[in-house]
Chain A
């Protein structure tokens, strides 16, 4: 049994993950492998950037940064608070060259911040309720061949095994 509860400070891998804490806060952590980190330090100032997607089809890697952080040394995570809700974001870490050009060396996954919570119910316009194949299959009697799959049990089957329901009428 492993007695010492030791987790490595780094795995010498290149990874950048952006996570959503809430509608207005995201958290990013990253790790640059040694050979990568050497590049960044040699070529310029280490910088972290947060980007927002400008539209549904906007391409990652071509958005303008929403925030830029000059990274203190050995820092490998960051909280961005006050970001917009119901928006898509991603991060990059890279170096700022002397001529002002930013070269990203690692990009995070995109995330979507949820909209601010809706807690009040307002009467909405009636929408058409459409049948959905999957839901239908739950209320229809299953085909014998499908019954062989142990994990499928229709609600009707569930109901029919319970004597409590005999005689329920709506």
Chain B
């Protein structure tokens, strides 16, 4: 019966180095040295123990660059050449040391070991993933992986780019080992909020963080570092144990520094004569050969000869010491861990074992054997621990890493900060291209895929690390620059629609990692209709308004959403109110529209009418099969359909998803009348009843959260969309208030105070001062119209302001076609679909920096944002955009791209569908 568990984790990674044109690439030696001194000795040791039935358990992370290099034919061939050279050098060394009682045995030992390594390598036909797989299948080792090129996630700007790193890592692992890795090694243990959700998408159950990443979680971990936490997403985080780390890693007190261990820096590659060494070394440069004859001895330069048997004894002692320390730790932990056993997680760079610390593999083997034959400690993996204890404390983890100082200092400092403006720009570009050209084929597709490879290779955290450590600075800097320059070149060609195939082939040959990469993984839009299959078939959408009955944006929203959901393969039924001269039932665009019979709505008072409407909806729903289990889910929009939604959901026990487009409180900036208060409580009841709540902006999500207490696990933010087809503009049909000249400013929206037109009117005299020919066209109607017209008169600008009243889609399009600037100065705005319309029409735009409207564009990138109410600033920015045409054009082009790629209804429907699936899963799971 153990008193505690140890998860020893080896993280094996090397940057991807493969230089087909350079026979003697210095940096390829990193791989060869690691294979010779680390991977093969470890594999040998583990396979031996496994063969003897020693019950040990290790977790090993094999990075995708390492896996790619280990399975690469060219590198395998070059490794054979390398090990042959080392054997040749070994023979020479035996000859050189002949007769020496101390150094000859050492030379012979190294020669034997090199020959053993060569035999092992050939035994597996040069593919070292095979022995790893063998150990996995024998149940000795839990294999996991890390990001595609070991990209440091906290400094990768976009979630899409982070996802691509995770995706390609998981894919390589899957291709080689035939399964998803149960866990994931975050590069440098670099965690930032959101990473766990990405891991969850791939079915990964756990990852690792540094000590303070666990201890600093909120709420504080009740088991300290001795048990994992799980994020809200459900993915578990295991923290590094500092004690066991110190015992191995610490430069002075750690085991590897013991005087009896081999001295790394006394290598014949540096000590002996160049003429002797030349045949064995690449290009005549002094490098590590692995023939080291001295032990550490002490701090001074005087080194005694290496004594292998002494060192091995020491390693066995240190293993026992390590084990004892763990047992003491378990004692301490047991005091506050009554209902489970403590787990100590000890992650190390694999290359420490055998390469930096020559005796490392011996120490490790001793530890495994002692642990297996002892009683107090059992070696398991994090996956095993989760199997034993699947329910763990939930907490929010802070951003952290295991780098120096615990955050991002190592990868972001004056030595390497220059990288990021280029890297982030490439990331954004890659996403943009993936979204703009999802259907690319032929050379364009290959170019996009290669661009993805170059980007991934540039993101390798190794480059920034090397620049900071100032080791092979030239090499690292040139790798970053080369990959990003390749990327830029490919992008230029893709955008110009002219791919240089010869060049592309060259790049594909040179940087050939990730053979089956799909550039689409970088996209913001990832539509995959198969997600619905078998789980979700028919949904009921409840909305009080629907075209042709259109009062606000709700009608349009439900119309577009229902059509997009239908095109994804769902059977969509919309229940809504009647409209004049419109049939009670329609089937259009794949959507079933059912309208309540007006005969059922005789009431003249609004609330009573609403009650009847809801009752009518329930009636229709029952008619079309609600009671017979025909529908999988109900999706209600806003408070007006609460009665129907709650009745239907309770009666049938199917999940309810609610979209809150706007709140009564927000609309009125408070609750003042009884009616408003009762609407507020209806909204409250509906939100609390729902399994999921959808809001159109983060702003609305906060508002809903504060008003009704809904937590972040319940609310999902999905932006509204715009249907590009409805914005077809014929410039010849344009309506301008200034037919001959420029300065055509437009406002579209309801004439109510919350839309802020009055601010724009106040700004107008200031605009006229700089641009006397400016004019304002106001399209829309509402209860505030008279006051606004009066205000225009009072300000003396009414001769330059034209109120054109309500406009239909065509009218709106014509007005957009003639506009030089669109202004949306709202004071309260949950979203602002009209802004999307202006963006889609290519009209330069200024919006209020408020609510959801402020989330649509970035200030200074796709338009300008002004604090609500600031007429003076509004005037300044408006003049700027009207005068600086080049800037205005830049803004509007970017805005158009954004609308095309981010506010597409197909993507929104997909995201909505994912929320449906979440609601379904939870509804089912917690029953």
A residues contacting B by CB (< 8 A) are 1-2, 4-8, 11, 13-17, 19-23, 25, 27, 29, 31-33, 35-36, 38-39, 56-57, 59-62, 76-77, 79, 92, 101, 103-107, 109, 112, 114-115, 117-127, 129-139, 145, 149-153, 155-156, 158-159, 162-165, 170
Contacts A39-B887, A115-B398; A21 near B408 (Cβ below 8 A): yes
Give Cα A165 to B57, complex, Å: 11
Known interface pairs A139-B390, A158-B182; 12 further A-B residue pairs with C-beta atoms within 8 A, sorted by A's residue number = A1-B506, A2-B503, A21-B407, A39-B884, A61-B849, A61-B865, A107-B865, A118-B212, A132-B232, A136-B925, A139-B387, A150-B174
Chain A residues contacting B488 (CB-CB under 8 Å) are 7-8
Chain B residues contacting A145 (CB-CB under 8 Å) are 534
Contact present for A155 and B387 (CB under 8 Å): yes
Contact present for A103 and B873 (CB under 8 Å): yes
Contact present for A5 and B407 (CB under 8 Å): no
Contact present for A106 and B861 (CB under 8 Å): yes
Give Cα A60 to B860, complex, Å: 14
Give Cα A87 to B697, complex, Å: 22
Contacts A2-B485, A6-B481; A29 near B417 (Cβ below 8 A): yes
Contact with A along B383-418 (1 / 0, CB 8 A): 110111011111000111000011111001110010
Contact present for A104 and B424 (CB under 8 Å): no
Contact present for A35 and B886 (CB under 8 Å): yes
Partner of A117, one of B212, B221, B922: B212
Give Cα A107 to B863, complex, Å: 11
Contact present for B503 and A1 (CB under 8 Å): yes
Query: Which interface residue of B170, B398, B477, B864 has the most chain A CB atoms within 10 A?
Result: B398
Chain A residues contacting B421 (CB-CB under 8 Å) are 15, 17, 29, 31, 76-77
Contact present for A155 and B182 (CB under 8 Å): yes
Contact present for B387 and A159 (CB under 8 Å): yes
Contact with A along B235-268 (1 / 0, CB 8 A): 1100000100000000000000000000000000
Contact present for B383 and A155 (CB under 8 Å): yes
Partner of A7, one of B155, B422, B702, B880: B422
Partner of B233, one of A17, A134, A137: A134
- B108-128 residues with Cβ-Cβ distance < 8 A to A are none
Give Cα A8 to B426, complex, Å: 12
Contact present for A170 and B398 (CB under 8 Å): no
| One of B65-73, B222-230, B571-579, B714-722 contacting the partner | B222-230
A-B contact pairs, 26 of them (CB 8 A): A2-B485, A2-B507, A20-B399, A38-B884, A57-B702, A61-B854, A61-B867, A103-B877, A104-B859, A107-B860, A109-B157, A112-B399, A114-B216, A114-B399, A118-B220, A119-B242, A121-B221, A123-B336, A129-B391, A129-B392, A134-B233, A134-B235, A138-B390, A150-B179, A151-B174, A153-B180
Partner of B182, one of A16, A21, A153: A153
Residue of B nearest to A76 (CB): B421
- B776-819 residues with Cβ-Cβ distance < 8 A to A are none
Contact present for A124 and B220 (CB under 8 Å): yes
Give Cα A164 to B233, complex, Å: 30
Chain B residues contacting A29 (CB-CB under 8 Å) are 417, 420-421
Contact present for B393 and A2 (CB under 8 Å): no
- B830-867 residues with Cβ-Cβ distance < 8 A to A are 849-850, 854, 858-861, 864-865, 867
Contact present for A133 and B922 (CB under 8 Å): yes
Residue of A nearest to B339 (CB): A129
Chain A residues contacting B510 (CB-CB under 8 Å) are 1
Determine whether B532 belongs to the interface, using a CB cutoff of 8 Å to chain A.
no
| One of B199-207, B642-650, B728-736 contacting the partner | B199-207
Give Cα A71 to B146, complex, Å: 41
Determine whether B287 belongs to the interface, using a CB cutoff of 8 Å to chain A.
no
Contact present for B180 and A150 (CB under 8 Å): yes
Partner of B926, one of A127, A133, A155: A133
Contact with A along B861-902 (1 / 0, CB 8 A): 100110100001100110010001011001000000000000
